[in-house]
Amino acid sequence: MSQRTFSIIKPDAVKAGNTAAILAEIQKAGFKIVAIKRMSISLAQAEGFYHVHSARPFFGELTQFMSSGPIFPMVLEKDNAIADFRKLMGATNPAQAEEGTLRKLFAASIGENAVHGSDAEDTAAFEIGYFFAGIELK
């Protein structure tokens, strides 16, 4: 069944000039790009987005990194989009990511790992609504 997920091209990948190459891989894998924009977020906005990780030791590093430069948040659609996009991204740590995955191809470290992808239906709904208004999601 057709499903939507939320993704971000993170600051490291934007800075490295990999945005177009990542979008090409996403489209090659069968995802429709429903909405996308380029923006920068404040530290407080990054903290709100990653609130589920607020007790983790890497929270400060993660939110500083995510607010360090331009990102491309986007909404993607396909059958089984949430699980299939997690597969396309690969493991959180690029050293453990499988060949051909976005993190194997484009990520340098566990902290700066090129892309974000929602991990469940409820987080996808929260994350889409955090970045996009309903009128942008037709």
Total binding residues toward ligand RTP, as defined by CB under 6 A: 10
- Of 63, 71, 81, 116, the active-site residue reads 116
- 116 in catalytic set: yes
Residue of this chain nearest to ligand RTP (CB atom): 92
Q: Is position 113 annotated in a ligand binding site?
A: yes
List % helix, strand, coil for the chain (3-state, nearest 5). Answer: 45, 20, 35
The listed partner (ligand RTP, Mg ion, none) that binds 117, CB under 5 to 8 Å by sort, is ligand RTP
* Residue 38 neighbours by CB under 8 Å, 6+ apart: 14, 70, 71, 72
Instruction: Tell whether residue 58 is a contact of ligand RTP (CB under 6 A).
Output: yes
Give the Cα separation of 26 and 48 in Å (integer): 26
Residues of each annotated binding site for ATP: 10, 58, 86, 92, 103, 113
